């Protein structure tokens, strides 16, 4: 914070985006809606600004950040783009796909962004507010999810404030995010092979499931609501708040019709509600391992770990 403890909330309209751009230029922290979750953005070329992301979140410094760019042309300044990587970016950008690529030696990025790795994670997001912001500044934006490290990711401006009020300069309020779970992350190797490091809204290439070493931030415990979470629960105990899916009604439901995309969009709001509920424990109905259901189950396993 630049000497103040107040987090300004602005609508994600042209006036708000212009204010956010000025804040970022002077090294500030702004939470911005993306199509996945709200990101906590800072200019990626400034060591001071990036250090403030880690401090505000309480994020371990071995967990690298995703760098958000306007598109492929900007990405070329920071990574070596192989033909395979180019094809993926052309097919899925702007969108919820993060590419882990060899970092260019001359990349003008704060060292902390990549946590000492020879690679860099790049994404061109699709949300109109984030796109407008990226178009109006002259640098890329490092942006992890806008929550205290390890806790539930934010899908509304209120979720951001619940965890970071007073610790960041501004929130751009663009309503609830659509995809609801963080981007799919894939590494594109020198030989052109593609490995999934984190499941997300998009299904891409091979499914390794073993990305723990390659993606240092993929900690076993993450997205934690602060109480015990029990998975695959068709029925709940009396002291459990029950999150339903499909035929399992629950106290609230991720999707009454059993739609995994709807469930992904509601997942973090449901975990926030469960965290606030009087019951000391949380039970979650089974969610099928299909489509974005893989990403939901990945996040639920970490919430339960």
Query: How far apart are the C-alpha atoms of 183 and 283, rounded to whole Å?
Result: 25
Could you tell me the smallest distance in angstroms from the CB atom of residue 197 to ligand AMP? 6
What one-character DSSP code corresponds to residue 269?
Answer: H
Could you tell me the smallest distance in angstroms from the CB atom of residue 282 to ligand AMP? 22
Tokens of 222: 């993450």
Among 66, 129, 274, 283, binds ligand AMP (CB under 6 A): 66
Residue 119 site contact among Mg ion, ligand AMP, none (CB < 5 to 8 Å, cut-off depends on kind): ligand AMP
Q: Is 242 helix (H, G, I), strand (E, B) or coil?
A: strand
Tokens of 269: 């709001």
Nearest to 99 by CA among 133, 128, 130, 76: 76
> Which residues ranging from 103 to 122 are in contact with ligand AMP (CB under 6 A)?
114, 117, 119-121
> Which residues ranging from 116 to 175 are in contact with ligand AMP (CB under 6 A)?
117, 119-121, 144-145
Tokens of 129: 């507010």
For the chain, first and last CA: distance in Å? Answer: 33
- Contact, 73 vs 90, CB < 8 A? no
Residue 293 site contact among Mg ion, ligand AMP, none (CB < 5 to 8 Å, cut-off depends on kind): none
Could you tell me the smallest distance in angstroms from the CB atom of residue 146 to Mg ion? 9
Contacts to Mg ion by CB under 5 A: 145
- In the bound state with Mg ion, the residue whose beta carbon lies nearer, of 233 and 275, is 275
- Contact, 276 vs 244, CB < 8 A? no
Residue 120 site contact among ligand AMP, Mg ion, none (CB < 5 to 8 Å, cut-off depends on kind): ligand AMP
CA distances from 281 to 8, 195, 237, 253 (A): 34, 35, 9, 16
- Contact, 223 vs 163, CB < 8 A? no
Query: How far apart are the C-alpha atoms of 226 and 275, rounded to whole Å?
Result: 7
Could you tell me the smallest distance in angstroms from the CB atom of residue 57 to ligand AMP? 8
Query: How far apart are the C-alpha atoms of 115 and 149, rounded to whole Å?
Result: 16
- In the bound state with Mg ion, the residue whose beta carbon lies nearer, of 34 and 253, is 34
Tokens of 17: 């985006």
Among 63, 74, 82, 208, binds ligand AMP (CB under 6 A): 63
Residue 63 site contact among Mg ion, ligand AMP, none (CB < 5 to 8 Å, cut-off depends on kind): ligand AMP
Query: How far apart are the C-alpha atoms of 58 and 49, rounded to whole Å?
Result: 14
Could you tell me the smallest distance in angstroms from the CB atom of residue 145 to Mg ion? 3
- In the bound state with ligand AMP, the residue whose beta carbon lies nearer, of 42 and 120, is 120
Residue 74 site contact among ligand AMP, Mg ion, none (CB < 5 to 8 Å, cut-off depends on kind): none
Stretch that binds ligand AMP, among 17-25, 63-71, 163-171, 269-277 (CB under 6 A): 63-71
Could you tell me the smallest distance in angstroms from the CB atom of residue 63 to Mg ion? 9
- Contact, 205 vs 44, CB < 8 A? no
- Contact, 94 vs 124, CB < 8 A? yes
The count of chain residues that interact with ligand AMP, using the rule CB under 6 A, is 20
> Which residues ranging from 190 to 249 are in contact with ligand AMP (CB under 6 A)?
197, 214-218
Query: How far apart are the C-alpha atoms of 37 and 179, rounded to whole Å?
Result: 7
- In the bound state with ligand AMP, the residue whose beta carbon lies nearer, of 188 and 283, is 188
> Which residues ranging from 267 to 296 are in contact with ligand AMP (CB under 6 A)?
none
Residues that bind ligand AMP (CB under 6 A): 63-66, 100, 114, 117, 119-121, 144-145, 182, 185, 197, 214-218
């Amino acid at each position: 914070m630049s000497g103040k403890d107040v987090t300004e909330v602005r609508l994600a309209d042209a006036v708000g985006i212009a204010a956010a751009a000025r804040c970022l230029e002077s090294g500030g922290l702004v939470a911005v809606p993306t199509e996945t979750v709200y990101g906590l953005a800072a200019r990626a070329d400034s060591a001071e600004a990036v250090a403030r992301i880690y401090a505000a979140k309480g994020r371990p410094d071995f967990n690298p950040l995703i760098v958000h760019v306007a598109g492929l042309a900007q990405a070329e300044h920071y990574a070596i783009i192989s033909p395979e990587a180019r094809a993926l970016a052309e097919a899925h950008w702007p969108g919820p796909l993060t590419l882990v690529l060899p970092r260019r030696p001359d990349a003008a990025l704060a060292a902390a962004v990549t946590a000492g790795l020879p690679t860099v994670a790049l994404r061109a997001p699709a949300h109109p507010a984030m796109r407008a912001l990226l178009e109006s500044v002259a640098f890329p934006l490092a942006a992890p999810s806008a929550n205290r490290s390890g806790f539930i990711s934010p899908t509304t401006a209120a979720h951001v404030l619940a965890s970071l009020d007073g610790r960041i300069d501004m929130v751009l309020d663009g309503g609830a995010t659509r995809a609801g779970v963080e981007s799919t992350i894939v590494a594109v190797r020198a030989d052109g092979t593609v490995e999934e490091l984190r499941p997300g809204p998009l299904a891409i290439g091979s499914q390794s499931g073993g990305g723990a070493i390659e993606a240092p931030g993929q900690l076993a415990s993450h997205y934690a609501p602060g109480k015990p979470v029990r998975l695959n629960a068709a029925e709940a105990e009396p002291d459990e708040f029950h999150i339903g899916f499909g035929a399992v009604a629950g106290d609230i439901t991720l999707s009454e019709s059993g739609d995994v995309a709807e469930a992904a969009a509601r997942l973090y709001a449901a975990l926030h509600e469960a965290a606030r509920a009087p019951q000391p424990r949380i039970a979650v109905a089974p969610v099928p391992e299909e489509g974005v259901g893989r990403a939901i189950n990945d996040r639920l396993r970490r919430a339960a770990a």
